[in-house]
Structure 1
Amino acid sequence: MKLTEDDIYRSSTQYRNWSFTPAQLTAQRLKTNQQASERVKAAVARQRAQRARQSQLDSANTSESERNEVVCLTPEEELKLVDTFCDVAQKLGDFCNYPAEITATCIQFVRRFYLFNSPMTYEGQNITRTAMFIANKAESHFLDVEVFSSQCGKNSTAEKILAPEYLIIQALRYNLDVKHPFRALKGGHLELVELARGNLATLPNASQTATELQNEMLQLPRKAGGPAVKMTGPELEKRLGEAYGFAAYILKTAALLTDSYFLYTPSQIWLAAHLLADEPVTLFYLSTKIPPSHPTYSKLVTTIRACATLISSHRSYRSDRSSAEEKDIRDQQAREEIKALVKKLRQCRDPDKVDLVKLNQAQKRDAVHEGGLEENKAKRRKLQREGYEKEADGFWGPDIAKNGGGK
């Protein structure tokens, strides 16, 4: 039995647990928003009732803000805030000079976390910082939490970084492996360079020789639908290098900040980025793998174009057809919109989840609740620990007795 790259990817947790259709994504975000809104309204009502009892104020003396219904965020507004959290994560990664893989993993952790949790429940700044700390460890780039917290600003402490760590890992379903398109892009670029040099071995059923493919590449139009050109070998390699650089930039920016990882495979994402960078070269590359007359070819190109459309829809994407002024205007509009959303978020935060440090301390194993251990919870946890110990003994064997022991 021979496993292909597709078989390996389909066995990954990213494909099995974190791949969706657009309809599934929309439905899940709506469900998360509805559940969070209900919890926020219930928690606020409970706090208001408690304050009213303590102060013994009747409804006539209650302030207008106390009587007003809590206006919660919509799913669309939550998604815009999550996009902002991802922007912040990207800037944090740049500030700390982390490799692109670490920042990319952090952003996907944030997007996955907020697929099942709401910004109204968990504040984005704390989650983003901790997600970056977890991403460092997931990518085998270990660092001291004290050093990391000092890089995150004056208000950041090691305790604040560690408080939501287990919460995030649990929300991620312990799936810490993220498949990125960076290596695939590099491999595709090297393959294109070998094609341009006439060195690449063709597929068994290929109708063209390596030299014929090289000659065809030298005449590829600069733009889609444009006239054929005549390039020299160095000119073609320079063009391939420029396409690779732009595609790599897209993968590190706009591709990370959209739902592309949820909707498409890493191979489709890198091909979409390369399509945006140089469409004629990308389509030529695909034609060397699948004949354009084959039904799979048109289906694949349609999927890649859809992915490219999604990526290019993000405001951080800038093509040769858009000016820097247009991008600045989009960024300014986005900042004003986010400023209003943050103001709205402050009015609909879940009061029970504001202090994650205290929440983490309260949820520690065998935590004391109201002066005494909860009997049922303690018994349940004790049985769980004993079960884990028995399973460990069954696998590893019991502990080795000390000298003089076990007689």
Structure 2
Amino acid sequence: MIEDDFYRSSSQFRLWSYTEKSLQSLRATTNANASERVRSALRKSREAQQSATSSAAGTPAANQNGSDADSKAGGDETEIECLTPEEEHQLVRYFCEQIIELGEMYKPPLPTIVRATAIQYLRRFYLTNSPMTYHPKSIMLCALFLATKTDNYYLSLRQFAEVIPGGTTPEDLIQPEFLVMQSLRFTFDVRHPFRGLEGGIMELQAISQGMGQPAPHFPTQTPDDLKRRLHSLPPSPTTSSSSITDRLARAHHSTREILKSAAQMTDAYFLYTPSQIWLAAFMIADKPLAEFYLESKLGGPQQQQQGSPLYELRTKLIRTLTDCSNLLQAYKPLASDPDQKKNLRRIRKKLSHCQNPDKAGVAGQKRIPAAAAAAVAAAGDPATSESEMERLAKKRKLDGEQPMDIFGGELVTQRTKDAQQP
């Protein structure tokens, strides 16, 4: 089984690979469904507030046919301006960049692989969920902690929470964990392009030392031929060094930086395979070197006949890598673009007015512990509200004192009790 077959059997290929059109359609559908739920929830919330206020004042909430309430609800609904799919996408990208920064706060910093996995978890989560439903801040923290576990980088929950600014508790961190795992379809494997890059650089280093392996399609090639062609490549536009070792090291570093930033913040993982991503980034870092690497595998245009399988494969691959390179080069960090930062502030302010109230607390957001008590308090009866709050507080205390054994009591103890009964 070749590497491509292994990848096609992975959950990333089967569940998280899309075309550009299908990806846009999925995000548009998610946004439309969330917007509908947000408007409905906000309308019900406003109607409840109006009803409570009217009851406290002793006035009817609407006339006999209910037209007054309907008109108010309809007017409120038109005032609710929800996020667009593009605004949601930009907001998610901002929190992906925050994962990179947060990872640097740990001592030592979280590994690149852990942060990259967390970013892909966050991006996958918001393909079928909206920031209007679950705020990205709490999901981001949970995704990063989940990535430390799935990538075998052990940190206790308390150690992880201590670094996070803002007084985030361990309970806040893990509250949305099942929701995140469910949205990921319980598939935690992320195939990154970093490993492919390391393998490609090792192959080029072997070729530079005369130990390269010619491709099976070109049996007449020898390791010396490959070495001679590698050393005779035109210089890279970004370097003046004549040493092939320095050139490989510089290309490796530049490519890895692209994979750590642009590849994570764009849709590259959804649209391309890991090998296509690292090769596209390699072409950006050093195009002559990348083209030589491809020719060592597939041959150059002069070695192929038009219409042959290798010619068609090479043409298709170059076109795909060019598209991926354009996607990676189009990425601009938010911190370096004042216009994007200004737009992001507008989006975050807009989100505060269209957050789904029914989902408050589900993803770690603070909510009132007793909805019934809050409703009574809104009606203007403080005495009843306090008694209701006391009742709920006592209930929570009793629930906390009682041991919760999800598997039931011990069987030996139970049999002893049964034997003692007459």
Q: Same fold (TM over 0.5)?
A: yes
The match for 2:33 among 35, 43, 48 is 35
Kindly indicate whether residue 125 of structure 2 is the aligned counterpart of residue 119 of structure 1. Answer: no
* Equivalent pair of 2:139/2:176 in contact (CA under 8 Å): yes
1 CA distance for matches of 2:241 and 2:338? 41
**1:401 Cα deviation from its structure 2 partner:** 9.2
Q: Of 272, 288, 292, which aligns to 1:264?
A: 272
- Say which of 6, 21, 32 aligns to 1:8: 6
Amino acid at match of 1:198: G
Give the root-mean-square deviation of aligned CA atoms: 3.0
- Aligned pair partner of 1:286 in 294, 303, 326: 294
After superposition, give the CA deviation of every residue in 1:224-256 in whole Å (9 maximum; x if it has no partner): 8x9xx9986xx0111111000000111111111
1:311 to 328, 332, 335: 328
Q: Please name the residue that 2:339 is paired with.
A: 333
The aligned amino acid for 2:194 is F
| Match among 293, 313, 319 for residue 296 of structure 1 | 313
Deviation at 1:354, TM superposition (A): 2.1
1:212 corresponds to which residue?
A: 225
Query: By how many angstroms is 1:331 displaced?
Result: 2.1
Counterpart pick for 1:81 among 77, 91, 96: 91
Q: CA deviation at 1:94?
A: 2.0
- Structure 2 counterparts to residues 339-350 of structure 1, below 5 A: 339-350=345-356
Deviations 1:63-103 (A, max 9, x none): 99957520001111111111111011111112221001000
**What are the superposed Cα offsets for residues 351-374 of structure 1, whole Å, 9 maximum, x if unpaired?**
111223478x99xxxxxxxx9xxx
Write the distance in 2 (CA, Å) between the matches of 1:231 and 1:152.
43
For residue 319 of structure 1, what is the aligned residue in structure 2?
none
DSSP 3-state at the match of 1:255: helix
1:325-359 superposed Cα distances (whole Å, 9 cap, x missing partner): xx97x522211110011011111110111223478
Identity %: 38
Alignment match, 2:253: 245
Corresponding position of 1:166: 178
Alignment of 1:84-233 (within 5 A): 84-96=94-106, 97-206=109-218, 207-223=220-236
1:155-178 deviation digits (Å, cap 9, x = unpaired):
311111011000000000000010
| Equivalent residues of 1:110, 1:128 under 8 A apart | yes
Letter matched to residue 83 of structure 1:
R
Q: Flag structure 1 segments of 5+ consecutive residues without an equivalent.
A: 317-326, 363-370, 372-384, 387-398
Inter-CA distance 83–65: structure 2 relative to 1 (3 Å threshold): farther
User: Which range is displaced more, 333-342 or 203-212?
Assistant: 203-212
Scaled by the length of structure 2, the TM-score of the pair is 0.77
1:199-244, Cα deviation, whole Å (9 max, x unpaired): 11223332421111111111211248x9xx9986xx0111111000
Amino acid at match of 2:258: I
Letter of the structure 2 residue corresponding to residue 77 of structure 1:
E
| Structure 1 SS opposite 2:165 | coil
- Matched-pair contact (CA < 8 Å) for 1:36–1:121: yes
Higher gyration radius (CA): 2
Higher relative contact order (CA 8 A, sep 6+): 2
* Corresponding position of 2:400: none
Q: Which runs of 5+ in 2 are unaligned?
A: 55-60, 63-67, 305-310, 371-391, 393-405, 417-422
Cα gap change, 1:210/1:176 in structure 2, threshold over 3 Å: closer, same or farther?
Answer: same
- Partner AA of 1:175 in structure 2: T
Residues 219 and 230 in structure 1, CA contact (< 8 A), matched pair in contact too: no
Q: How many residues align?
A: 352
Deviations 1:94-113, CA, capped at 9 Å, x for gaps: 22210010000000000000
- Say whether 1:351 aligns with 2:364: no
Matches of 2:78 and 2:215 in 1, distance apart?
A: 69
Moved more, 151-160 or 272-281: 151-160
Counterparts of 1:178 and 1:241, CA distance in 2: 26
Deviation at 1:277, TM superposition (A): 0.3
Question: Would you say the 8 A contact 2:27–2:85 is kept in 1?
Answer: yes
Aligned position for 2:43? 45
Match of 2:57 in 1: none
TM-score (ref. length: structure 1): 0.80
Bigger drift between 215-224 and 177-186 goes to 215-224
- The letter of the residue matching 1:307 is C
